[in-house]
Structure 1
Amino acid sequence: MAIFDIEKDQLTGLSDELLEEFIARLAEAEVAAKGHSPARVSWSGSISAPDGGIDIRVHVLEDEFSTGFLERPDTILQSKKYSMPKGEVMKEMVAAGALSPTISEQAANGGSYIIVSLADDCSPLMKNERLSAMCRAMEDDPNKANIHLDFYDRSKLVQWVRQHPSVMLWLKQKLGQGYSGWQAYGAWSNPPRGADDTLILDSGVLVTLPSQKHQKLSLENAIEPMRELIRATGKAVRITGLSGVGKTRIVQALFDETLGQNALDRTLAVYVDTGADPTLSATAMLDRLIAERRRAVLILDNCPSELHSSLARRVSAEDGNVRLITVEYDIRDDKPQTTEVVHIEAVGPEIAERLLLRRFPGIGQSNARRIAEFADGNARVSLAIAERVEVGESLGQLSDAQLFSRLFEQRNQADNDLREQAEILSLVYSFSISTPEVGDHELELLGSIAGHSHAQLFKSVNKLAERHIVQMRGRWRAILPHAIANKLAASALSNIRVDQLRAVFEGAGRQRLLMSFAHRLGLLHDHPVAREIVEVWLHPDGLLGRLSDLDEMSLRILDYIAPVAPEALLDRIEAELTSPEFNGTHPRYTSQRSTIFNLLRSLAYEPIAFDRCVRLLIRATDDEEENNNSN
Structure 2
Amino acid sequence: MAIFDIEKDELLRLSDDQLEELIARLSEAEVAMHGHSPACVSWSGSIKAPDGGIDIHVQVPVDQLKPGFLIMPNTVFQAKKHKMPKAAIEKEMGTGQTLSPIISEQARKRGSYIIVSLGDDCSPSGKAARLNAMRDAVKDDSNRSHLHLDFYDRSKLTQWLRQHPSVMLWVKRKLGQGYSGWQPYGAWSNPPQGVTDTLISAPGVTITLPSGKGQQLKIDEAINPMRKLISSTNKTVRITGLSGVGKTRIVQALFDETVGTDALDRTIAIYADTGSEPVPSATAMLDKLIAESRRAVMILDNCPSELHASLTSKVSAAGKEVSLITIEYDIREDKPQTTEVIHIATEGPEVAEQLLIRRFPSIGQNNARRIAKFADGNARVALAIAERVEEGESLALLSDEQIFNRLFEQRNHPDGDLREQAEILSLVYSFSVSATGMDSNELEILGSLSGYSKAQLFRAVTKLMSRHVVQKRANWRAVLPQAIANRLAISALDSIPVDQLRATFETSGRQRLLMSFAHRLGLLHDHAVAKEIVKAWLHPEGLLGQIVNLDDVSTRILNYVAPVAPGALLERIEDALITSNFEPFKSLYNPQRTTIINLLQLLAYEARYFERCIK
TM-score range (shorter-chain normalised) is over 0.9
Distance in 1 (CA, whole Å) between partners of 2:95 and 2:216 is 62
Q: Tell me the alpha carbon deviations over residues 523-554 of structure 1, each in whole angstroms, 9 at most, x when there is no partner.
A: 01111111111122222222222223322122
Q: Deviations over 1:444-478 (max 9, x none)?
A: 11111111122221122122112221112121111
- Distance 1:423-1:167 versus aligned 2 partners, 3 A rule: same
Q: Residue 512 of structure 1: CA displacement?
A: 0.8
Gaps of 5+ in 1: 616-631
Give the Å deviation of 1:584.
3.6
Give the partner amino acid of 2:196.
Answer: D
**Cα drift, residue 588 of structure 1:** 4.0
* Structure 1 match to 2:614: 614
Contact 2:240 2:343 in 1 (8 A): yes
Counterpart residue number, 1:2: 2
2:381 matched to which residue of 1? 381
> What corresponds to 1:444 in structure 2?
444
Instruction: Report what 1:30 is aligned to.
Output: 30
Contact kept in structure 2, 1:66 and 1:73, CA below 8 Å:
no
CA positional deviation for 1:438: 4.9
Q: Secondary structure at the match of 1:389?
A: coil
For residues 117-266 of structure 1, the aligned pairs below 5 Å read 117-266=117-266
Q: Is the 8 A contact 2:13 2:175 kept in 1?
A: yes
**Matches of 2:438 and 2:298 in 1, distance apart?**
35
Residue of structure 2 in register with 1:270 after alignment: 270
AA partner of residue 261 (structure 1): T
1:552–1:591: 8 Å Cα contact kept in structure 2?
no
Rounded Cα–Cα distance in structure 2 between residues aligned with 1:46 and 1:541: 76
**Deviation at residue 431 of structure 1 after TM alignment:** 0.9
Paired residue type of 1:31: V
User: Is there any run of 5+ residues in structure 2 with no aligned partner, and where?
Assistant: none
Cross-structure match for 2:561: 561
**In the alignment, is residue 99 of structure 1 matched against residue 67 of structure 2?**
no
Partner secondary structure for residue 450 of structure 1: coil
Matched letter for residue 467 of structure 1: R
- Whether the aligned pair in 2 keeps the contact of 1:271 and 1:300 (CA below 8 Å) is yes
The one-letter code matched in structure 2 to 1:81 is: K
Can you list the C-alpha shifts for 1:471-510, whole angstroms capped at 9, x where unaligned? 1212111111111110000010000011211222112221
Task: Give the match's secondary structure for 2:293.
Answer: coil
Inter-partner Cα distance in structure 1 for 2:116 and 2:589: 65
Amino acid at match of 1:482: Q
Q: Offset of 1:593 from its aligned partner?
A: 2.3
CA distance in 2, matches of 1:296, 1:204: 32
Compared with structure 1, are the counterparts of its residues 84 and 541 closer, same or farther at alpha carbon in structure 2 (3 Å cutoff)?
same
Q: How far apart are residue 407 of structure 1 and its match?
A: 0.7
Aligned position for 1:628? none
8 A Cα contact 1:269 1:299, kept in partner: yes
Q: Answer whether contact 2:32 2:265 (CA < 8 A) is retained.
A: yes
**Cα-to-partner distance string for 1:163-204 (whole Å, 9 max, x where unaligned):** 111111112222222221111000000000000100011111
Moved more, 57-66 or 394-403: 57-66
Contact kept, 8 Å, 2:96 with 2:137, in 1: the verdict is no
1:440-589 → structure 2 map (5 Å cutoff): 440-585=440-585, 587-589=587-589
The answer to whether the 8 A contact 2:96-2:139 is kept is no
Is 2:293 the counterpart of 1:323? no
Q: How does 1:286-297 map to 2 (within 5 A)?
A: 286-297=286-297
Q: State the secondary structure of the residue aligned to 1:20.
A: helix
1:116 corresponds in structure 2 to 116
Give deviations 1:380-430, integer Å, cap 9, x for gaps.
111111111111111111111111111111111111111111101100001
Distance 2:512 2:379 in 1: 31
Alignment partner, residue 629 of structure 1: none
CA, structure 1 residues 589+9, in 2 after alignment: closer, same or farther (shift >3 Å)?
farther
Corresponding residue SS for 1:317: helix
Partner Cα separation in structure 1 for residue 373 and residue 119 of structure 2: 58
- Given that residues 207 and 219 in structure 2 are in contact (C-alpha distance below 8 angstroms), is that contact kept between their aligned partners in structure 1? yes
Task: For 1:14-25, list aligned pairs within 5 A.
Answer: 14-25=14-25
Q: 1:309 to 1:590 in 2, by over 3 A?
A: farther
Q: Secondary structure at the match of 2:361?
A: coil
**1:131: how far off?**
0.6
Residues 205 and 245 of structure 2 are in contact (CA less than 8 Å); yes or no, is this contact kept in structure 1?
A: yes
Superposition deviation, residue 138 in structure 1:
1.0
Structure 2 equivalent of residue 623 of structure 1: none
Displacement, 1:60?
0.8
1:458 aligned partner, one-letter code: F
Query: Residues 95 and 383 from structure 1, CA distance in 2 versus in 1: closer, same or farther, beyond 3 angstroms?
Result: farther
Q: 1:353 to 1:605 in 2, by over 3 A?
A: same
Post-superposition offset of 1:96:
9.8
Check whether the contact 1:274–1:303 (CA below 8 A) recurs between aligned residues. Answer: yes
SS in structure 1 opposite 2:57? strand
User: How many residues in Structure 1 have an aligned counterpart in Structure 2?
Assistant: 615
AA in 2 matched with 1:150: D
- 2:423–2:491 contact (8 Å) kept in structure 1: yes
Query: 2:95 and 2:533 mapped to 1: Cα distance?
Result: 87
The amino acid of 1:545's aligned partner reads G
Instruction: Point out 4+ residue stretches in structure 1 off by more than 4 angstroms.
Output: none
Residue-by-residue CA offset, 1:251-276 (whole Å, 9 max, x unaligned): 00010011122111000101111111
Matched residue of 1:212: which SS? coil
| Contact kept? 2:5, 2:162, Cα under 8 Å | yes
Matches of 2:372 and 2:566, distance apart in 1: 32
User: What CA distance in whole angstroms lies between the structure 2 residues aligned with 1:516 and 1:67?
Assistant: 57
Tell me the alpha carbon deviations over residues 104-132 of structure 1, each in whole angstroms, 9 at most, x when there is no partner. Answer: 11111111111111122111111111111
TM superposition shift of 1:94: 1.4
Deviations 1:546-600 (A, max 9, x none): 2233221221111101111112212222222211222141524243222122112
Distance, in Å, in 1 between the alignment partners of 2:157 and 2:248 is: 32
Normalising by structure 2, report the TM-score.
Answer: 0.98
Q: Distance in 2 between matches of 1:278 and 1:591?
A: 40
d(CA) in 2 for partners of 1:66 and 1:130? 25
